[in-house]
């Protein structure tokens, strides 16, 4: 047995064996990722904001961080003496069973329909204490008491709900806990169905699905290692996005590689050699594709918002793991299985694929026949869709973050209606203890403040609790918070749930100014290196930016008018830009790289563009549908922010796949001709065949003849 034949037999088995070890080790740690996910307020807040500083100081005060709840008793016709007795009895029981920071005090509404009891419990600030678990347990215990007397509760017309910031956070945690399993199952099912439909084989679809599953397990294990080794913060949101990216991007790479491998199997007798040529042909495109996604995601590190900056490296790890699996494990498994894995459509050596006029060939011909008209019509259509951004809803309020209204949201709605003269959601002020009295008096004098009282002290800080006259997260309360911040001295910080929403919106606006240019520059540099051109990269980036604008416009047309979403998450614009630009350029890379291959063979620009679209159009369409479907799974989750993200990215990917890549990029390439490759060598007519193409031809000839 010659050395080449020996390598053909041993290398695939060695790769599979190595991956078996990797998967076995990774599986031990991947399942632990859920246990180290953190969804505390500071994990989503801007690093430098006032509200973040307030949250950090609150955790250091005596007793640690507090969980603030409001127990609400409401009867439409007015509370009865029996209702008040129920409330007094339940609050007495809560006070006896829980360590509250102060005795419960009922505050009746002026119309007599509602009675609220603000209560708080401190979270022990000791090493090893799971603060989230303690907070959730407190909320659950309080709710258990309020629902115990079912005979005198809601069934008799008395509505009892537990609301407040702590209850909202607990309900959010409950949703996040259900996301991981639901998202994984739904994503696997969607990808499996699409792969079966794409390959029309009872066996082939299993291979890429198995490999992308290995990539997902590996990525979760790597992220868990980062948490343990570097105290990296992983939120449920970033974990969900990573899962979607691994399955979406990984399946896209698999589709491209399998399609190219199938082509080479018809030209080359041995699967090992066919895979080697396929990897050489599409490997640079896959590498550049994953590089653009990873580089775009890593640009999020420049964001001040903790949730955005933390998501960048975590999602990038998922993309890199998907890339490594698809360029090593997938080729090895396919080579070992041989041609029979394609049954019943087995690519026989020496055969020709079905020469039929494909849908994408027809689209390319129409784009080449009237390139100016096609390009102008497409740009106008995308521009018209982008006008929908004028109808985007305002900033998403906390109580509007759920698709279904949980108990905490119902409670806050009752409070807003029953106490119009005062907000039921406190504003927290952290002042140096030496100036706390002056800060308290100043806060009471600020217009829009209904009440203010001194809270806990410790570590040189004193907490002041302020209630505004206006409803939570309303324009009036926002103005009150701004007045507090401008009136109080620079060493005093204003925070709380409403202040956090203000800081989120402001920080996201600043992050967009820095991160978006970074993403564009990073993607451009990678495209220039791959395509050896300036014009083609600029064309591709312009195209995906236009797609992002159109997708945002569609969001403005459907979010509130059709879906009833009460607002838009402040980070949606930035994150959707990063995903759509980085992922959208993928398809441009697949198309333009194949176009460059055809140009290297000496094809004229129009012929190169049409051949590239004909040969890659089906793969790009399949990849686009898979990626859109995986992000579309997010739209089925019960959180508005994830649903909005899924809708925007899915719509943008479909626009990019079926309009921009097929029509606009093709027509623009036909119009520009060789100028699309300027200033590279391909912008000038070639004098002789290019070395890369000669090498591939020699490879095919040698493996065919056995030389």
Give the per-residue pLDDT at 686. 61
Residue with tokens 């012929």: 607
Q: What Cα–Cα distance (Å) separates residue 509 from each residue in 304, 477, 499?
A: 10, 20, 16
Cα–Cα dist 90/332, whole Å: 65
User: Of 324, 202, 184, whose CA–CA distance to 254 is shortest?
Assistant: 324
Q: Mean pLDDT of all residues in the chain? A: 84
User: Of 400, 455, 461, whose CA–CA distance to 426 is shortest?
Assistant: 455
Give the per-residue pLDDT at 122. 77
Enter the tokens of residue 358: 């494909």
Instruction: Specify the length of the chain in residues.
Output: 707
Enter the tokens of residue 558: 């459907």
Give the per-residue pLDDT at 34. 81
Cα angle value 507/509/510 (rounded, 5°):
65
Give the per-residue pLDDT at 7. 65
Element (H, E) at 160: strand 159-163
Cα angle value 32/242/619 (rounded, 5°):
135
Low-confidence ranges of the chain (pLDDT < 50): 1, 150-155, 356, 690, 693, 703-707
Enter the tokens of residue 617: 């159009």
Give one DSSP letter per residue of 301-366, joined into a string: GG-SBHHHHHHHHHHHHHHHHHHHHHHHHHHHHHHHHGGGGGTTS---TT--------HHHHHHHH
Q: What Cα–Cα distance (Å) separates residue 419 from each residue in 3, 168, 242, 453?
A: 84, 19, 42, 19
Give the per-residue pLDDT at 650. 92
Give the per-residue pLDDT at 707. 41
Give the per-residue pLDDT at 330. 93
User: Of 395, 634, 376, whose CA–CA distance to 498 is shortest?
Assistant: 395
Quick check: 39 and 176 in contact, CB under 8 A?
yes
Quick check: 677 and 531 in contact, CB under 8 A?
yes
Q: What Cα–Cα distance (Å) separates residue 637 from each residue in 179, 251, 295, 631?
A: 7, 22, 28, 11
Cα angle value 533/522/524 (rounded, 5°):
20
Give the per-residue pLDDT at 309. 83
Phi first, then psi, for residue 395 (nearest 5°) are -65, 135
Residue with tokens 């460059």: 596
Cα–Cα dist 436/419, whole Å: 28
Residue with tokens 């439409």: 76
Residue with tokens 């679209």: 613
Element (H, E) at 71: strand 66-74
Which domains, and CATH codes, for the chain? 1-30+201-349 (1.20.1640.10), 65-171 (3.30.70), 358-406+510-707 (1.20.1640.10), 407-502 (3.30.760.10)
């Amino acid at each position: 047995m010659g050395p080449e034949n020996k390598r053909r037999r041993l290398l695939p088995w060695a790769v599979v064996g190595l991956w078996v070890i990797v998967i076995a080790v990774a599986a031990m740690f991947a399942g632990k990722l859920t246990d180290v996910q953190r969804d505390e307020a500071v994990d989503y807040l801007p690093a430098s904001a006032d509200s973040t500083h307030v949250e950090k100081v609150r955790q250091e005060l005596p007793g640690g961080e507090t969980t603030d709840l409001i127990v609400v008793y409401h009867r439409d016709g007015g509370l009865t003496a029996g209702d008040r007795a129920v409330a007094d009895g339940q609050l007495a029981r809560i006070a006896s069973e829980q360590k509250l920071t102060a005795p419960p005090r009922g505050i009746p509404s002026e119309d007599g329909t509602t009675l609220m009891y603000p209560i708080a419990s401190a979270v022990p600030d000791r090493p090893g204490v799971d603060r989230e678990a303690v907070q959730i347990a407190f909320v659950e215990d309080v709710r258990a008491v309020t629902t115990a007397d079912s005979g005198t509760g809601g069934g008799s017309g008395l509505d009892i709900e537990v609301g407040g910031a702590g209850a909202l956070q607990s309900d959010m945690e409950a949703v996040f806990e259900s996301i991981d399993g639901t998202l994984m199952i739904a994503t696997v099912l969607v990808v499996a169905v699409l792969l079966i439909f794409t390959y029309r084989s009872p066996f082939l679809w299993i291979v890429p699905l198995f490999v992308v599953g290995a990539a997902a397990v590996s990525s979760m294990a790597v992220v868990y290692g980062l948490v343990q080794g570097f105290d990296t913060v992983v939120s449920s949101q970033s974990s969900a996005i990573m899962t979607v990216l691994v399955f979406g991007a990984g399946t896209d790479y698999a589709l491209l590689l399998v399609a190219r491998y199938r082509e080479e199997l018809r030209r080359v007798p041995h699967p090992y050699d066919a895979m080697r040529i396929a990897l050489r042909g599409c490997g640079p495109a896959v590498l550049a594709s994953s590089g653009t996604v990873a580089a775009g995601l890593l640009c999020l590190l420049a964001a001040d918002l903790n949730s955005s900056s933390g998501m960048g490296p975590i999602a990038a790890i998922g993309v890199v793991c998907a890339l490594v699996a698809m360029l090593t494990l997938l080729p090895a498994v396919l080579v070992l299985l041989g041609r029979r894995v394609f049954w019943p459509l087995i690519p026989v050596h020496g055969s020709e694929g079905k020469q039929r006029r494909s849908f994408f060939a027809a689209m390319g011909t129409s784009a080449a026949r009237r390139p100016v008209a096609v390009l102008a019509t497409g740009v106008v259509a995308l521009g018209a869709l982008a006008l929908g951004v004028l109808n985007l809803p305002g900033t998403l309020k906390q109580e509007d973050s759920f698709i279904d209204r949980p108990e905490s949201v119902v409670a806050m709605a009752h409070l807003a209606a029953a106490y119009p003269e005062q907000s039921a959601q406190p504003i927290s002020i952290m002042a140096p203890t030496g100036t706390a009295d002056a800060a308290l008096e100043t806060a009471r004098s600020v217009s829009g403040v209904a009440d203010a009282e001194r809270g806990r002290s410790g570590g040189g800080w004193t907490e002041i609790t302020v209630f505004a006259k206006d409803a939570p997260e309303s324009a009036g309360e926002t103005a009150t918070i701004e007045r507090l911040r401008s009136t109080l001295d620079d060493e005093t910080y204003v925070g709380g749930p409403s202040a956090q929403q203000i800081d989120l919106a402001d920080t996201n606006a600043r992050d967009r100014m820095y991160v978006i240019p970074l993403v564009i520059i990073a993607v451009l540099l990678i495209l220039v290196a791959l395509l050896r051109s300036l014009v083609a990269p600029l064309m591709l980036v312009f195209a995906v930016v236009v797609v992002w604008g159109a997708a945002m416009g569609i969001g403005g047309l459907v979010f509130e008018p059709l879906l009833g979403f009460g607002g838009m998450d402040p980070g949606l614009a930035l994150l959707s830009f990063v995903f759509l630009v980085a992922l959208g350029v993928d398809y441009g890379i697949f198309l333009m790289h194949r176009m460059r291959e055809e140009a290297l063979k000496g094809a004229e620009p129009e012929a190169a563009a049409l051949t590239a679209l004909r040969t890659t159009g089906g793969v790009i369409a399949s990849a686009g549908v898979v990626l859109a479907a995986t992000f579309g799974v997010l739209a089925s989750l019960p959180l508005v922010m994830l649903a909005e993200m899924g809708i925007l990215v899915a719509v943008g990917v479909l626009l990019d796949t079926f309009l921009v890549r097929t029509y606009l990029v093709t027509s623009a390439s036909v119009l520009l001709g060789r100028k699309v490759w300027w200033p590279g060598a391909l912008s000038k007519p070639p004098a002789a065949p290019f070395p890369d193409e000669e090498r591939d031809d020699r490879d095919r000839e040698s493996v065919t003849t056995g030389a």
